[in-house]
Amino acid sequence: MNARRIAAWLCLATVPVLAAAGPLGKTECIAPAKPGGGFDLTCKLVQTALLEGRFIQDPMRVTYMPGGIGAVAYNAVVAQRPDSGNTIVAFSGGSLLNLAQGKFGRYNENDVKWLAAVGTDYGAVVVAASSPYKTLQDVMAAMKANPRKVILGAGGTIGSQDWMKAALLSRAAGVSPRAMRFVAFEGGGEAITALQGGHIQVFTGDAAETLQQARAGSQVRILAVMSDKRLPGDLAQVPTAREAGANVEWPIVRGFYMGPQVAPEDYRAWSETFARLMATPAYDRLRSERGLFPLGLVGPELDAYVKRQVADYRKLVAEFGLNVAR
C-alpha cells in the first residue's frame, strides 16, 4: 500500500486497535462460493490478520453463499442485508467482470460500498517445460502463422477471466479471438495437467497459482506475467507481457465490499482498520503466504478503481462480441 495513502488514513484513524463492540464486534465475512476457493482464501486471510493483530477480540465468522461467482451474495446483501455494519463480503476481479457482463441481475457496481482491496494476483502465459516456445514472441508468432495449431486452455468458459486473458493474447498476436482454439477446464490444476500432457500448448492462468504448481513439481515454464511491472521473489526474472511484446495487463484483485446502507461511521471504522492492518509487516507475511501480491486500496480509492475496471471490462465485452445478460 502506498505510504502516502497509509499516512492519510492513519492521521484520520480514531478506532482503537482492539475493538470489542460496534462494527468490529461479532464480525462476519461472506465468501460467495463453497469452501476452499479464492473467496474463502480472501476471507480467511483477513480473519487471521485481524485476530493476530488484535484488531478484533473474537474470531471473524466465515459464512458461505455460493452461486453465480458472487451474484447470489451480491443480491442478498443489497436486497436483504443492506445496513449490516458487521458484515463484509469478498469479491474478486472475476466478480467485476461478471458485473460488466450484467450477470448480477438488476444490480451494478454502484449498488454497494466498496471497502478494501487486500491483494492481487496476475494473469500469466504458461507453457510446458518441454515446449518449443521459449518466449511469448514465439507463441504469438505461431498463433499468427496458424491460430488453429496453437491450442490454448484454462479453467474457465467463454467470457471468463481465463478466456479473456487468452483472447487478449490472441488479439495482441494479430489474431481474432473468434479464430483462436480454446479448451475450457474445470480449474487451473486440470489445465496444467493437460499442458504437461501435450493436450494444450498454452495455459492462460494465474501467476501465483502456476508458481505454486511448479513448486509442487509441475513441469511448466512461465513466459510472461500480465502485470504492470515485474513481480517479486521467484518471478522476478519473468518479463511482463508488455516487456515480452504484448500490451496486455490482467490484475486479479481480491477485496471486500459492504451493503449500500451501512452507516457512514461503521464504514469509516472498517476503512481505517484495513488501512492500519495493511500497513503492518505481519500482514505482508500473511498475504505472501497465500500467494497474493501487494495491492492496498481503501475506501474512495477502491471505489474509483472498481468503477474504472468495470468500465474497461464492458469495453472488452463489447469488443469481443460477448452476450451481456439482462
Q: Is the same domain home to 115 and 257?
A: yes
In-domain check, residue 193: yes
Cβ(298)–Cβ(271) under 8 Å?
Answer: yes
Q: Is the same domain home to 99 and 133?
A: no
Q: SS3 letters for the chain?
A: CCHHHHHHHHHHCCCCCCECCHHHCCCEEEECCCCCCHHHHHHHHHHHHHHHCCCECCCCEEEECCCHHHHHHHHHHHHHCCCCCCEEEEEEHHHHHHHHCCCCCCCCCCCCEEEEEEEEEEEEEEEECCCCCCCHHHHHHHHHHCHHHCEEEECCCCCCHHHHHHHHHHHHCCCCHHHCEEEECCCHHHHHHHHHCCCCCEEEEEHHHHHHHHHCCCCEEEEEECCCCCCCHHHCCCCECCCCCCCCCCEEEEEEEECCCCCHHHHHHHHHHHHHHHCCHHHHHHHHHCCCECCCEECHHHHHHHHHHHHHHHHHHHHCCCCCCC
Q: Is the same domain home to 113 and 19?
A: yes
Q: Alpha-carbon distance 122 to 43, whole Å?
A: 19
In-domain check, residue 93: yes
In-domain check, residue 256: yes
pLDDT of residue 91: 96
Residue that is last in its domain, among 235, 260, 282:
235
Q: Is the same domain home to 218 and 257?
A: no
pLDDT in tens, 83-93: 999 999 999 99
In-domain check, residue 75: yes
pLDDT of residue 157: 85
* 165: containing domain: 121-235
pLDDT of residue 326: 53
Residue that is last in its domain, among 170, 204, 235:
235
Q: Is the same domain home to 229 and 256?
A: no
pLDDT in tens, 250-287: 999 999 999 999 999 999 999 999 999 999 999 999 99
In-domain check, residue 291: yes
pLDDT of residue 19: 47
Q: Is the same domain home to 211 and 268?
A: no
In-domain check, residue 245: no
pLDDT of residue 155: 85
pLDDT of residue 89: 98
pLDDT of residue 16: 42
In-domain check, residue 185: yes
Instruction: Show Cβ contacts of residue 53 under 8 Å, excluding neighbours closer than 6 positions.
Output: 17, 277, 280, 282, 283
Q: Is the same domain home to 7 and 116?
A: yes
Q: Alpha-carbon distance 82 to 111, whole Å?
A: 10
Q: Is the same domain home to 313 and 224?
A: no
pLDDT of residue 323: 67
Closest CA relative to residue 120, chosen from 278, 258, 234: 278
Dihedral sign (CA 97, 101, 107, 110): positive
How many other C-beta atoms are found inside a 10 Å radius of the C-beta of residue 170?
Answer: 26
How many other C-beta atoms are found inside a 10 Å radius of the C-beta of residue 233?
Answer: 8
CATH code of the domain containing 110: 3.40.190.150
Q: Is the same domain home to 125 and 71?
A: no
Residues (pLDDT < 70) of the chain are 1-21, 323-326
Per the structure, the count of domains in the chain is 2
Residue that is last in its domain, among 204, 235, 266:
235
Q: Is the same domain home to 130 and 217?
A: yes
Q: Is the same domain home to 185 and 202?
A: yes
Which pTM was predicted?
0.86
Tell me the percentage of the chain whose pLDDT exceeds 70: 92
CATH code of the domain containing 206: 3.40.190.10
Q: Alpha-carbon distance 176 to 124, whole Å?
A: 20
Q: Is the same domain home to 47 and 140?
A: no
Q: Rounded to 5 degrees, what are φ and ψ at 19? A: -115, 130
In-domain check, residue 47: yes
pLDDT of residue 7: 46
Q: Rounded to 5 degrees, what are φ and ψ at 116? A: -155, 140
Q: Alpha-carbon distance 12 to 2, whole Å?
A: 16
